């Protein structure tokens, strides 16, 4: 009962970095950590819903209304992913420069404009342009993850990131239920087909603006205050703890942390006053403070952006996300059509409902991946454990993709069971990936998150292109993606999870 009460009680706070040691999931009103957590996942969910609002209606309703061919439908899916890739690469450094909250709200407000303009589309070219700019909403994932990382400590950050990402990804499943329902409701109220699908996009547009305003007026940038004052407030906090007898902190926040001091033996009695150190039980107080100093995000220079993006450790998280989230994006775009092809007895709503299950499982599978990543870290005190979890998820995901593609089953129970198994490992891999991300260059978390997120979109584009040139031979593309996924995971499994000699994120 005590652990269950952590879902609504004010969390224990790490006194060094002011991050929460638990997630007040059910307390979005009175607790600032619960409020930030809520708007992180809810904002991304609304963004994802609008980002993927077209696929449920595109092939059967919109394409017929504006006279699109099959290859044009596929092209529009690719264009939507291309915009998000660009925005995610930009959003990462923006998070480090302006703060994730402002960047998040900016993505939402910018994406709301083309959402409201959906009714102005009357041909394929117009749809291409519209979906490109709506793709801005997909970029909101990066500030969502960076914002969460800034409020939750390393013992729960994997779970927190996986929950916000997983619950946000529910938007990809919810849209398959909501958009056809809104469209059918408007039809039953007398609107023509052409007007009904256009008016239906007003609903997500209104919600996007509402959430963006809540981010700006109800939530803080960091646990210690505004983004621009993070250096001064963190320095003051560290010096306050040094006065209280923790340790003397030399230099300024912007300085590189001191060289590691010799580790001392830690007795059970010594640890009792520091319950917040359960994950860092083998670290000295000086190392803990060095870590806290190194986690303060720095303003990135172009040279630093390039160096961080192309470090082997960032390439690992990017490569894994290329496979998992990339496959998820591409599969989301065609899954309803795949079901309609193999199961002729399903109508538009039924095939859409079954396709929605793949996205809705994110609410369970992605958080579970992050939780398992955190659990492995707590038991081993090693980031290698998180990396092992990530690659295990990736290889099993590849096996499921190959099985689905080779069988290409026309039996509903077999197909739906395999897709559910795929969702468990593919979406869990997404959560495990962003359980590892906060450990890689913490002082440039926005850059790492942005590159990793953009890599997922790049994978989505590549896989969508493969779908595009294989027509309705969906099974063949599934096993191709599976082979790619296993090969990439094996190729990067040997790379160390964090740079050699890294102390406090440096």
What is the tens place of the pLDDT at every residue in 217-228? 999 999 888 887
CB-CB contact of 337 with 59 (8 Å): yes
Collapsing DSSP to helix, strand or coil, 122 comes out as coil
pLDDT classification of 104: cutoffs 50, 70, 90:
very high
- CA dist 328 and 330 (Å) reads 6
In 3D, which of 288, 289, 297, 295 has the Cα closest to residue 229?
297
pLDDT classification of 475: cutoffs 50, 70, 90:
very high
Tokens linked to 370: 């992050």
pLDDT beyond 90 at 408: yes
Look at residue 276 in the predicted model and tell me its pLDDT. Answer: 39
pLDDT classification of 295: cutoffs 50, 70, 90:
low
In 3D, which of 292, 494, 483 has the Cα closest to residue 387?
494
Cα separations in angstroms, 329 against 179, 266, 325, 349, 476: 18, 47, 6, 20, 17
In 3D, which of 185, 178, 218, 201 has the Cα closest to residue 28?
218
Residue 58 sits at the vertex; the CA angle it makes with 53 and 64, to the nearest 5 degrees, is 150
Residue 151 sits at the vertex; the CA angle it makes with 146 and 157, to the nearest 5 degrees, is 75
Look at residue 422 in the predicted model and tell me its pLDDT. Answer: 97
Can you tell me the mean pLDDT for 276-285? 43
More confidently predicted of 273 and 79:
79
Look at residue 231 in the predicted model and tell me its pLDDT. Answer: 65
pLDDT classification of 275: cutoffs 50, 70, 90:
very low
SS (H, E, C) 65-108: HCCCCHHHHHHHHHHHHHHHHHHHHHHHHHHHHHCHHHHHHHHH
Task: Count the alpha carbons within 13 Å of 200 in the hemisphere toward its beta carbon.
Answer: 31
Look at residue 237 in the predicted model and tell me its pLDDT. Answer: 65
Tokens linked to 158: 């994997």
Percent helix, strand and coil across the chain, each to the nearest 5: 75, 0, 25
Look at residue 247 in the predicted model and tell me its pLDDT. Answer: 43
Task: Count the alpha carbons within 13 Å of 492 in the hemisphere toward its beta carbon.
Answer: 25
Look at residue 144 in the predicted model and tell me its pLDDT. Answer: 95
pLDDT beyond 80 at 328: yes
pLDDT classification of 242: cutoffs 50, 70, 90:
low
pLDDT beyond 80 at 480: yes
pLDDT classification of 274: cutoffs 50, 70, 90:
very low
In 3D, which of 463, 456, 424 has the Cα closest to residue 437?
456
The CATH class, in words, for 25-223+303-492 is: mainly alpha
Tokens linked to 499: 């740079």
Q: Which pLDDT tens digit goes with each residue over 47-59?
A: 988 888 887 888 7
pLDDT beyond 60 at 123: yes
Q: How many residues does the chain have?
A: 506
More confidently predicted of 61 and 144:
144
**Domain ranges, ordered by start, for the chain:** 25-223+303-492
pLDDT beyond 80 at 503: no
Tokens linked to 350: 């039924």
pLDDT classification of 280: cutoffs 50, 70, 90:
very low
- CA dist 374 and 383 (Å) reads 10
pLDDT beyond 90 at 404: yes
More confidently predicted of 260 and 396:
396
CB-CB contact of 489 with 320 (8 Å): yes
Collapsing DSSP to helix, strand or coil, 222 comes out as strand
CB-CB contact of 440 with 318 (8 Å): no
CB-CB contact of 39 with 214 (8 Å): yes
Can you tell me the mean pLDDT for 92-120? 93
- CA dist 108 and 98 (Å) reads 15
CB-CB contact of 426 with 324 (8 Å): yes
Least confident residue range of 33-37, 280-284, 420-424, 441-445: 280-284
Q: Which pLDDT tens digit goes with each residue over 159-193?
A: 999 999 888 888 877 887 888 889 999 999 989 98
Q: Which of the given ranges, 9-18, 168-177, 395-404, has the highest pLDDT on average? A: 395-404
pLDDT beyond 70 at 290: no
pLDDT beyond 90 at 506: no
- CA dist 370 and 169 (Å) reads 14
CB-CB contact of 449 with 146 (8 Å): yes
pLDDT beyond 70 at 72: yes
Q: Which of the given ranges, 59-68, 214-223, 296-305, has the highest pLDDT on average? A: 214-223
pLDDT beyond 50 at 400: yes
Share of the chain above pLDDT 70, in %: 85
pLDDT classification of 251: cutoffs 50, 70, 90:
very low
Tokens linked to 16: 């060094």
Sequence-separated contacts (24+) of 120-127 with Cβ below 8 Å: 121/66, 121/198, 122/66, 123/66, 123/67, 124/66, 124/67, 124/68, 124/72, 124/75, 124/76, 126/66, 127/54, 127/62, 127/66, 127/68, 127/72, 127/76
Look at residue 486 in the predicted model and tell me its pLDDT. Answer: 98
Tokens linked to 281: 């039980």
Can you tell me the mean pLDDT for 19-32? 90
328-367: burial string, b at 16+ Cβ within 10 Å, e else: bbbbbbbbbbbbbbbbeebebeebbbbbbebbbbbbbbbb
Q: Which residues contact 269 (CB under 8 A, 6 or more apart)?
A: none
When the pLDDT of each residue in the chain is averaged and rounded to a whole number, the result is: 84
Look at residue 14 in the predicted model and tell me its pLDDT. Answer: 84
Q: Which of the given ranges, 187-201, 292-306, 398-412, has the highest pLDDT on average? A: 398-412
- CA dist 463 and 455 (Å) reads 12
- CA dist 258 and 287 (Å) reads 9
pLDDT classification of 77: cutoffs 50, 70, 90:
confident
Look at residue 419 in the predicted model and tell me its pLDDT. Answer: 96
CB-CB contact of 481 with 330 (8 Å): yes
Sequence-separated contacts (24+) of 261-266 with Cβ below 8 Å: 261/286, 261/287, 263/287
Can you tell me the mean pLDDT for 244-266? 40
Range list of H helices, 437-502: 445-468, 474-492
């Amino acid at each position: 009962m005590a652990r269950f009460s952590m879902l609504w009680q004010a969390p224990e706070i790490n006194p060094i970095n002011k991050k929460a040691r638990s997630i007040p999931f059910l307390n979005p009103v009175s607790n600032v950590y619960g409020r930030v957590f809520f708007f992180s996942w809810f904002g991304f969910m609304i963004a994802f819903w609008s980002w993927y609002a077209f696929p449920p209606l595109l092939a059967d309703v919109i394409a017929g209304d504006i006279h699109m061919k099959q290859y044009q439908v596929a092209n529009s899916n690719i264009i939507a992913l291309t915009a998000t890739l660009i925005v995610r690469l930009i959003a990462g450094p923006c998070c480090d420069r302006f703060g994730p909250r402002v960047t998040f709200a900016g993505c939402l407000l910018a994406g709301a404009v083309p959402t409201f303009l959906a009714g102005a589309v009357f041909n394929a070219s117009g749809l291409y342009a519209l979906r490109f700019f709506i793709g801005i909403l997909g970029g909101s994932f990066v500030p969502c993850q960076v914002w969460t990382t800034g409020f939750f400590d390393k013992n729960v950050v994997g779970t927190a990131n996986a929950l916000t990402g997983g619950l946000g990804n529910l938007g990809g499943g919810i849209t398959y239920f909501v958009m056809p329902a809104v469209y059918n409701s408007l039809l039953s109220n007398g609107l023509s087909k052409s007007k009904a699908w256009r008016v239906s996009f007003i609903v997500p547009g209104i919600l996007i603006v509402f959430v963006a305003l809540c981010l700006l007026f109800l939530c803080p940038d960091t646990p210690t205050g505004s983004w621009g004052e993070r250096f001064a407030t963190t320095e003051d906090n560290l010096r306050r703890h040094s006065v209280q007898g923790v340790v003397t902190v030399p230099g300024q926040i912007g300085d590189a942390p001191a060289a590691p001091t010799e580790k001392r033996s830690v007795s059970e009695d010594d640890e009792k006053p520091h319950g917040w150190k359960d994950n860092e039980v083998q670290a000295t107080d000086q190392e803990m403070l060095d870590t806290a100093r190194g986690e303060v995000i720095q303003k990135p220079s172009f040279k630093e952006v390039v160096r961080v993006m192309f470090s082997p450790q960032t390439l690992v998280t990017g490569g894994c996300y290329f496979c998992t989230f990339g496959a998820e994006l591409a599969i989301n775009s065609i899954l309803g059509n795949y079901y309609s092809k193999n199961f002729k007895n399903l109508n538009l709503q039924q095939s859409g409902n079954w396709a929605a299950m793949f996205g809705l499982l994110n609410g369970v599978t992605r958080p579970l991946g992050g939780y398992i990543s955190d659990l492995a870290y707590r038991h081993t005190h090693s980031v290698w454990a998180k990396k092992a979890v990530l690659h295990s998820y990736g290889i099993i995901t590849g096996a499921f993709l190959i099985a689905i593609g080779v069988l290409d089953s026309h039996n509903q129970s077999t197909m739906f069971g395999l897709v559910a198994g795929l969702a468990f490992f593919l979406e869990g891999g997404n959560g495990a990936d962003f359980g590892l991300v906060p450990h890689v260059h913490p002082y440039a978390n926005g850059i790492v998150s942005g590159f990793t997120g953009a890599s997922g979109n790049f994978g989505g584009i590549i896989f969508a292109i493969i779908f595009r040139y294989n027509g309705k031979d969906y099974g063949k593309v599934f096993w191709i993606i599976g082979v790619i996924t296993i090969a990439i995971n094996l190729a990067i499994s040997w790379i160390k999870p964090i740079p050699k000699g890294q102390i406090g994120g440096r």
